[in-house]
Protein backbone atom coordinates (compact mmCIF):
# COMPACT_ATOMS: atom_id res chain seq x y z
CA UNK A 1 0.00 0.00 0.00
CA UNK A 2 1.25 3.47 -0.86
CA UNK A 3 0.21 6.47 1.26
CA UNK A 4 0.16 9.97 -0.24
CA UNK A 5 -0.35 12.94 2.08
CA UNK A 6 -0.81 16.57 1.07
CA UNK A 7 1.32 19.02 3.07
CA UNK A 8 0.25 22.64 2.57
CA UNK A 9 2.49 24.45 0.14
CA UNK A 10 4.21 21.32 -1.12
CA UNK A 11 3.32 19.43 -4.30
CA UNK A 12 4.44 15.84 -4.39
CA UNK A 13 5.50 15.26 -7.98
CA UNK A 14 6.71 11.95 -9.32
CA UNK A 15 7.90 12.21 -12.92
CA UNK A 16 7.34 8.91 -14.70
CA UNK A 17 9.66 8.18 -17.61
CA UNK A 18 8.00 7.77 -20.98
CA UNK A 19 9.01 7.58 -24.59
CA UNK A 20 8.02 10.24 -27.08
CA UNK A 21 8.82 10.71 -30.72
CA UNK A 22 7.96 13.08 -33.52
CA UNK A 23 4.66 12.20 -35.16
CA UNK A 24 5.07 10.59 -38.57
CA UNK A 25 3.08 11.92 -41.50
CA UNK A 26 0.03 9.67 -41.58
CA UNK A 27 -1.77 9.49 -44.94
CA UNK A 28 -5.52 8.89 -45.12
CA UNK A 29 -6.41 6.58 -48.00
CA UNK A 30 -9.12 4.02 -48.83
CA UNK A 31 -8.63 0.66 -47.13
CA UNK A 32 -9.44 -2.34 -49.34
CA UNK A 33 -10.05 -5.65 -47.62
CA UNK A 34 -9.28 -4.33 -44.17
CA UNK A 35 -9.23 -6.72 -41.25
CA UNK A 36 -10.07 -6.36 -37.57
CA UNK A 37 -7.97 -6.80 -34.44
CA UNK A 38 -10.03 -7.74 -31.41
CA UNK A 39 -9.18 -9.09 -28.04
CA UNK A 40 -9.06 -8.87 -24.28
CA UNK A 41 -6.50 -7.34 -21.93
CA UNK A 42 -5.98 -9.23 -18.66
CA UNK A 43 -3.87 -8.90 -15.51
CA UNK A 44 -3.44 -11.90 -13.21
CA UNK A 45 -1.26 -10.40 -10.50
CA UNK A 46 -2.11 -8.82 -7.17
CA UNK A 47 -3.94 -5.51 -7.40
CA UNK A 48 -2.15 -2.89 -5.25
CA UNK A 49 -3.84 0.26 -4.01
CA UNK A 50 -2.75 3.74 -3.06
CA UNK A 51 -4.30 5.52 -0.10
CA UNK A 52 -5.51 9.05 -0.83
CA UNK A 53 -5.75 11.35 2.22
CA UNK A 54 -6.97 14.82 1.18
CA UNK A 55 -6.09 17.45 3.77
CA UNK A 56 -6.84 20.42 1.53
CA UNK A 57 -10.14 21.39 -0.12
CA UNK A 58 -11.74 18.35 1.51
CA UNK A 59 -15.24 19.70 0.85
CA UNK A 60 -14.50 19.22 -2.88
CA UNK A 61 -11.91 16.45 -2.84
CA UNK A 62 -13.84 14.14 -0.51
CA UNK A 63 -12.97 11.71 2.23
CA UNK A 64 -9.88 9.48 2.42
CA UNK A 65 -10.08 6.50 0.10
CA UNK A 66 -8.05 3.71 -1.45
CA UNK A 67 -7.75 3.59 -5.22
CA UNK A 68 -6.55 0.54 -7.18
CA UNK A 69 -3.47 1.14 -9.32
CA UNK A 70 -5.00 -1.09 -11.97
CA UNK A 71 -8.73 -1.75 -12.40
CA UNK A 72 -9.32 -5.48 -12.77
CA UNK A 73 -12.80 -6.95 -13.10
CA UNK A 74 -14.35 -10.30 -13.91
CA UNK A 75 -11.95 -12.90 -15.36
CA UNK A 76 -8.97 -10.58 -14.69
CA UNK A 77 -10.18 -8.14 -17.37
CA UNK A 78 -8.39 -4.78 -17.31
CA UNK A 79 -10.37 -1.56 -17.65
CA UNK A 80 -8.86 1.59 -19.25
CA UNK A 81 -5.92 -0.14 -20.89
CA UNK A 82 -4.79 1.52 -24.11
CA UNK A 83 -4.10 -0.52 -27.25
CA UNK A 84 -2.56 0.90 -30.41
CA UNK A 85 -0.58 0.01 -33.53
CA UNK A 86 2.79 1.62 -34.19
CA UNK A 87 4.40 2.64 -37.48
CA UNK A 88 1.22 2.68 -39.57
CA UNK A 89 1.92 4.95 -42.53
CA UNK A 90 -1.55 5.10 -44.07
CA UNK A 91 -5.10 3.87 -43.78
CA UNK A 92 -8.53 4.84 -42.48
CA UNK A 93 -9.46 8.40 -41.50
CA UNK A 94 -9.31 9.72 -37.97
CA UNK A 95 -12.55 9.51 -35.98
CA UNK A 96 -14.70 12.58 -36.41
CA UNK A 97 -14.71 14.91 -33.42
CA UNK A 98 -16.90 17.94 -32.91
CA UNK A 99 -14.53 19.56 -30.43
CA UNK A 100 -10.98 19.18 -29.11
CA UNK A 101 -10.44 16.50 -26.49
CA UNK A 102 -10.22 17.72 -22.90
CA UNK A 103 -8.93 16.79 -19.48
CA UNK A 104 -11.12 18.08 -16.67
CA UNK A 105 -10.48 18.60 -12.94
CA UNK A 106 -13.58 17.12 -11.28
CA UNK A 107 -13.71 16.60 -7.50
CA UNK A 108 -9.92 16.54 -7.44
CA UNK A 109 -9.69 13.79 -10.04
CA UNK A 110 -8.79 13.96 -13.71
CA UNK A 111 -11.64 13.12 -16.08
CA UNK A 112 -10.96 11.14 -18.13
CA UNK A 113 -8.13 9.55 -16.18
CA UNK A 114 -6.83 7.83 -19.34
CA UNK A 115 -7.41 8.92 -22.93
CA UNK A 116 -5.94 8.63 -26.44
CA UNK A 117 -5.73 11.66 -28.73
CA UNK A 118 -4.07 12.69 -31.99
CA UNK A 119 -1.37 15.34 -31.83
CA UNK A 120 -2.96 18.76 -31.58
CA UNK A 121 -5.15 20.75 -29.22
CA UNK A 122 -6.35 19.49 -25.84
CA UNK A 123 -8.43 21.68 -23.53
CA UNK A 124 -7.54 21.74 -19.83
CA UNK A 125 -10.69 22.44 -17.80
CA UNK A 126 -11.48 23.16 -14.14
CA UNK A 127 -14.98 22.15 -13.07
CA UNK A 128 -14.11 22.49 -9.37
CA UNK A 129 -14.59 25.68 -7.29
CA UNK A 130 -10.98 25.44 -6.06
CA UNK A 131 -7.56 26.18 -7.50
CA UNK A 132 -5.93 23.42 -9.52
CA UNK A 133 -2.48 23.65 -11.08
CA UNK A 134 -2.56 21.14 -13.92
CA UNK A 135 0.92 20.04 -15.01
CA UNK A 136 1.68 17.80 -18.00
CA UNK A 137 4.96 16.12 -18.88
CA UNK A 138 6.43 14.36 -21.88
CA UNK A 139 8.80 12.19 -19.85
CA UNK A 140 10.56 14.64 -17.50
CA UNK A 141 9.98 17.67 -19.74
CA UNK A 142 7.10 19.97 -18.87
CA UNK A 143 4.74 20.45 -21.81
CA UNK A 144 2.15 22.57 -19.97
CA UNK A 145 1.86 24.00 -16.45
CA UNK A 146 -1.41 25.84 -15.86
CA UNK A 147 -2.92 27.56 -12.84
CA UNK A 148 -6.72 27.31 -12.99
CA UNK A 149 -8.12 29.29 -10.04
CA UNK A 150 -11.63 29.79 -11.47
CA UNK A 151 -14.48 27.31 -11.74
CA UNK A 152 -15.37 26.74 -15.39
CA UNK A 153 -11.96 27.86 -16.63
CA UNK A 154 -10.77 26.31 -19.90
CA UNK A 155 -7.28 26.69 -21.40
CA UNK A 156 -6.18 25.07 -24.70
CA UNK A 157 -2.74 23.46 -24.96
CA UNK A 158 -0.89 21.86 -27.87
CA UNK A 159 0.44 18.31 -27.62
CA UNK A 160 2.70 18.40 -30.61
CA UNK A 161 4.01 14.86 -31.00
CA UNK A 162 3.27 11.22 -30.30
CA UNK A 163 4.15 9.98 -26.84
CA UNK A 164 2.90 9.60 -23.29
CA UNK A 165 1.89 12.69 -21.33
CA UNK A 166 1.58 12.20 -17.57
CA UNK A 167 -0.56 14.82 -15.86
CA UNK A 168 -0.58 15.79 -12.19
CA UNK A 169 -1.77 18.69 -10.04
CA UNK A 170 0.74 20.81 -8.18
CA UNK A 171 -1.99 21.74 -5.66
CA UNK A 172 -3.30 18.21 -4.99
CA UNK A 173 -0.39 15.82 -5.22
CA UNK A 174 -2.40 12.60 -5.45
CA UNK A 175 -4.08 13.54 -8.74
CA UNK A 176 -2.73 11.74 -11.80
CA UNK A 177 -3.92 11.30 -15.38
CA UNK A 178 -2.53 9.96 -18.64
CA UNK A 179 -2.84 11.19 -22.21
CA UNK A 180 -1.49 8.91 -24.94
CA UNK A 181 -0.79 10.96 -28.07
CA UNK A 182 -0.82 8.76 -31.18
CA UNK A 183 0.20 9.33 -34.79
CA UNK A 184 -2.42 7.10 -36.42
CA UNK A 185 -6.09 6.26 -35.75
CA UNK A 186 -5.56 2.56 -35.04
CA UNK A 187 -6.15 2.54 -31.28
CA UNK A 188 -8.70 1.58 -28.63
CA UNK A 189 -9.33 1.81 -24.87
CA UNK A 190 -10.73 -1.18 -23.01
CA UNK A 191 -14.00 -0.99 -21.12
CA UNK A 192 -14.89 -2.83 -17.89
CA UNK A 193 -14.89 -6.15 -19.79
CA UNK A 194 -11.28 -5.62 -20.89
CA UNK A 195 -12.20 -5.93 -24.55
CA UNK A 196 -11.02 -3.85 -27.51
CA UNK A 197 -11.61 -3.72 -31.26
CA UNK A 198 -9.54 -1.98 -33.95
CA UNK A 199 -11.23 -1.95 -37.34
CA UNK A 200 -10.33 -1.35 -41.01
CA UNK A 201 -6.69 -2.36 -40.59
CA UNK A 202 -4.86 -2.76 -43.91
CA UNK A 203 -3.69 -6.39 -44.28
CA UNK A 204 -0.12 -6.88 -43.12
CA UNK A 205 2.21 -7.39 -40.17
CA UNK A 206 2.19 -4.95 -37.26
CA UNK A 207 3.40 -4.31 -33.75
CA UNK A 208 0.59 -3.77 -31.29
CA UNK A 209 1.24 -2.05 -27.95
CA UNK A 210 -0.95 -2.56 -24.90
CA UNK A 211 -0.26 -0.25 -21.97
CA UNK A 212 -1.65 0.58 -18.56
CA UNK A 213 0.05 3.14 -16.27
CA UNK A 214 0.78 0.68 -13.44
CA UNK A 215 2.18 -2.14 -15.57
CA UNK A 216 3.73 -0.16 -18.40
CA UNK A 217 3.67 -1.25 -22.07
CA UNK A 218 3.87 -4.66 -23.66
CA UNK A 219 4.44 -5.27 -27.38
CA UNK A 220 2.69 -7.97 -29.39
CA UNK A 221 3.33 -8.88 -33.05
CA UNK A 222 0.11 -9.29 -34.98
CA UNK A 223 -0.75 -10.30 -38.54
CA UNK A 224 -3.93 -8.97 -40.10
CA UNK A 225 -5.47 -10.96 -42.96
CA UNK A 226 -7.77 -9.50 -45.60
CA UNK A 227 -11.36 -9.15 -44.31
CA UNK A 228 -10.60 -11.43 -41.36
CA UNK A 229 -10.66 -10.90 -37.58
CA UNK A 230 -7.53 -11.48 -35.56
CA UNK A 231 -8.25 -12.37 -31.94
CA UNK A 232 -5.77 -11.82 -29.10
CA UNK A 233 -5.60 -12.20 -25.36
CA UNK A 234 -2.85 -10.00 -23.97
CA UNK A 235 -1.62 -10.37 -20.40
CA UNK A 236 -0.16 -7.30 -18.73
CA UNK A 237 2.60 -7.94 -16.20
CA UNK A 238 4.31 -5.70 -13.71
- 108-148 per-position pLDDT tens digit: 999 999 999 999 999 999 999 999 999 999 999 999 999 99
Task: Supply the CATH number for residue 111's domain.
Answer: 2.60.40.420
At 12, the pLDDT band (50, 70, 90 cuts) reads: very low
| Residue-level pLDDT at 97 | 82
Dist. CA 153–CA 150, nearest whole Å: 6
Per-residue buried b or exposed e for 160-181, using 16+ beta carbons within 10 Å of the residue's own CB: eebbbbbbbbbbbbbbbbbbbb
- Count other C-beta atoms under 10 Å from residue 47's C-beta: 12
- 138-195 per-position pLDDT tens digit: 999 999 999 999 999 999 999 999 999 999 999 999 999 999 999 999 999 999 999 9
| Residue-level pLDDT at 16 | 35
- 22-54 per-position pLDDT tens digit: 445 899 999 999 999 999 999 999 999 999 999
- Looking at the domain assignment, is residue 217 inside a domain? yes
Q: Which value, to the nearest 10 degrees, does the dihedral of the CA atoms of residues 105, 111, 113, 116 take?
A: -120
Please count the structural domains in the chain. Answer: 1
Q: Is 175 helix (H, G, I), strand (E, B) or coil?
A: coil
- Looking at the domain assignment, is residue 158 inside a domain? yes
Q: Structure pTM? A: 0.88
Q: Average the pLDDT over 82-96 and give the result.
A: 96
Q: Residue 187: which domain range?
A: 2-8+22-224
- Looking at the domain assignment, is residue 58 inside a domain? yes
| Residue-level pLDDT at 24 | 53
Amino acid sequence: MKTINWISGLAVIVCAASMSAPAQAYEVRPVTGGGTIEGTIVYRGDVPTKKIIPTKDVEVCGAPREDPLIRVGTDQAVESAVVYLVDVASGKPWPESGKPPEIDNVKCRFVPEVQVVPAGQVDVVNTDPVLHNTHGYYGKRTTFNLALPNQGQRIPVELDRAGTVRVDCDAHGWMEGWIYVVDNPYYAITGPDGKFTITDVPPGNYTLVAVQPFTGPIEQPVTVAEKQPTSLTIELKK
